[in-house]
Amino acid sequence: MRFFNYTLIDQKICQLAGAIETNLLTYINPQNLGEQKKKFFESLNKNEQYNPVFTYASRNPLYTYFDMNPNFKIYQNELKELIKDLGEDSLGIIFEKKIIDLFERMELVRSVGTENFAGNSESYYGTVDPQTLRRAKELLSKEIVLEEKKIHFDEAKKVIEAFLKKKKLNYKVKQRETENGAKFSVNIRTKEIFINKDVFFSENTLRRLIAHEIEGHVYRYENGLLQPYGIFSRGLSKETLETEEGLAVYIEQQQKINIDAQLKEYAGRVMAITTASKKSFFETFEEMNKYFSQEDSFTLALRAKRGTWKQDVGSAFTKDALYLKGLLLVEDFLKDQKVETLYHGRYSINDTPLALDIAGLVKPAHLPECLKKESART
């Protein structure tokens, strides 16, 4: 029987992942967003159609699409060699899935702003399936009462820091100057929580973000660090993100937080992607404006179109469909499974049988309070 040194393979894969992986949003969020947004609304006020012309950050030479960087080829070859050293047991399959994930992610990042980006996005994140589209349409038909937003950075920071201290999590809360991207986000690698400058939250929204970002994403990452293999904190396959986002939304619901407005936004993201894949930025905006304000409609069109080659043709960045699609999958999975089966680290529902088959797996140290109670009852 052949012996596989999975500890060394795990270390090598994590090392390569650290060198290869990058924050995709750094490259797909337009650098000239403020200028193009202003031009878009000036044209709109004149009853004129305008499709933005976005410019993107210069990519790391490793990811330059048309010029192959020598290091890129080195990483490719190293990953191919690693596959040869894998067995056919659960851990071997997990490592192989992670290597394939890294290959596909490299291609996705390298194709930002090119004709191939939309196709690579569909390959990596998938497309909108009929079930998700049906749920999105149902949610969009609902009337939502918006809550008053009066909590600013200083107060939000105190609330989040108190929660982190209670849970014994050593994360820093920082203010972020940029207007691009999410208003509230977590970098699990650097253990930093970012809140955008001049953003106000409602009390309900702040509770929801804590549930989503910390009890959803951070807890799974921290539990993954406890496992015998580092890959459990990195994510076992490309499907990990779908389960991550779906589980985070599920936790929001279990916390008994009113998330109707957020669910409608997730539905809007699905509809925006569906529209953007066939139509222009302006046409996507028009479709969204049937359900949302002009400001929110622009944001939804932007999220669906960022990173794509041209804004006057049909093409979409499909990642945002994972929130609602993932929720449906998690809801179905948890009909006959306990929540903690998804909390040993960062992995997808499909990877759960493989993950739970690993020797030496450590019991999750972090579980959301609402789910702890649920687990105690079952």
Is 42 contained in some domain? yes
Sign of the Cα torsion 79, 82, 88, 89 reads negative
Is 267 contained in some domain? yes
**Using CA atoms, how far apart are residues 161 and 83, in angstroms rounded to an integer?**
43
Q: Alpha carbon of 177 to those of 183, 184, 196, 252, 259: distances in Å?
A: 10, 12, 6, 27, 27
Is 299 contained in some domain? yes
**Using CA atoms, how far apart are residues 155 and 166, in angstroms rounded to an integer?**
17
Is 29 contained in some domain? yes
Is 94 contained in some domain? no
Is 371 contained in some domain? yes
Model pLDDT for residues 28-48, shown as the tens digit of each residue:
888 899 999 999 999 999 999
Q: Residue 188 sits in which domain range?
A: 23-59+111-377
User: Mean pLDDT, to the nearest integer, of 170-179?
Assistant: 83
Report the number of distinct structural domains present in the chain.
Answer: 1
Model pLDDT for residues 339-371, shown as the tens digit of each residue:
999 999 999 999 999 999 999 999 999 999 877
Model pLDDT for residues 197-256, shown as the tens digit of each residue:
788 888 888 999 999 999 999 999 999 999 999 999 999 999 999 999 999 999 998 887
- The position carrying tokens 């290869």 is 20
Q: Is residue 172 predicted with pLDDT exceeding 90?
A: yes
Sign of the Cα torsion 214, 135, 126, 320 reads negative
| pLDDT computed for residue 103 by the predictor | 84
Model pLDDT for residues 62-86, shown as the tens digit of each residue:
545 444 456 667 777 777 788 877 8
24 band by pLDDT with thresholds 50, 70 and 90:
confident
Q: What is the pTM of this model?
A: 0.89
User: Mean pLDDT, to the nearest integer, of 154-171?
Assistant: 94
Model pLDDT for residues 258-305, shown as the tens digit of each residue:
788 899 999 999 999 999 999 999 999 999 999 999 999 999 999 999
| pLDDT computed for residue 65 by the predictor | 47
